[in-house]
């Protein structure tokens, strides 16, 4: 072993231990352990949604599924008074269908679809730069829910305790019977 490695081994071990502990703490707190930036760039902890039923959706402005914004907004308006919220996460992972800046995305969503549900800053939902939230959703949430994101507008339904209980692929519209019945079941 080189003298450099011997000299710095304790530092490397300490850094490795701290990274492991941090990852464990985030994973141990489940969904509520994540804080991402809002579309306006301000920290927005998912812990703010404790006690609510949450629908997490990776969105894009130039996708064949983009009109789902209308249905997302409609179900948000229908159920928000009962403790329901939608969280939109713009991502440019599929066909470069979300190329805009956060400001451009926010303007597009508000002007074209009157989006009023919380939107977050653009993130990556797959690949080497995958956001930790999406690593959690796709790897640690259980059978039938975990698995790589295949396209824009994949939806994860979260119960009032922060457990991911259901996943809907992009072709399942937010206002479909499957989605609305699942939301209503969690709101009871």
Active site residues: 63
Pairing of strands 164-168, 155-158: antiparallel
Q: How far is the C-alpha of 144 from the C-alpha of 142, rounded, in Å?
A: 6
DSSP secondary structure, 141-176, as one string: S-TTT-S---STT-EEEE-TTS-EEEEE-TTS-TTS
**Contact (CB, 8 A) for 115 and 73:** yes
Give the count of beta carbons closer than 10 Å to the beta carbon of residue 173.
Answer: 20
The two structure tokens encoding residue 139: 């790897």
Q: How far is the C-alpha of 35 from the C-alpha of 29, rounded, in Å?
A: 12
> Which residues are CB-neighbours of 107 under 8 A, at least 6 positions away?
none
The label of the residue with tokens 């464990």 reads 24
Count of positions (residues) in the chain:
188
Q: How far is the C-alpha of 74 from the C-alpha of 54, rounded, in Å?
A: 15
């Amino acid at each position: 072993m080189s003298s450099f490695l011997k000299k710095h081994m304790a530092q490397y071990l300490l850094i490795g231990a701290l990274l492991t502990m941090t990852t464990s703490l985030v994973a141990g707190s489940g969904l509520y352990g994540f804080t991402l930036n809002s579309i306006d760039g301000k920290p927005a902890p998912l812990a703010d949604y404790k006690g609510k039923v949450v629908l997490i959706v990776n969105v894009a402005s130039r996708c064949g599924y983009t009109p789902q914004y209308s249905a997302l907004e409609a179900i948000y308006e229908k159920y928000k008074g009962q403790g329901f919220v939608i969280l939109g996460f713009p991502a440019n992972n599929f066909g470069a269908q979300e190329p805009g800046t956060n400001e451009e995305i926010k303007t597009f969503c508000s002007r074209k679809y009157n989006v009023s549900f919380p939107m977050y800053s653009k993130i990556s939902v797959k690949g080497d730069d995958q956001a930790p939230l999406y690593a959690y959703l796709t790897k640690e949430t259980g059978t039938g829910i975990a698995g790589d994101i295949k396209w824009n507008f994949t939806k994860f339904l979260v119960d009032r305790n922060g457990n991911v209980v259901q996943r809907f692929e992009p072709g399942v519209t937010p206002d479909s019977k499957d989605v609305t019945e699942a939301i209503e079941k969690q709101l009871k």
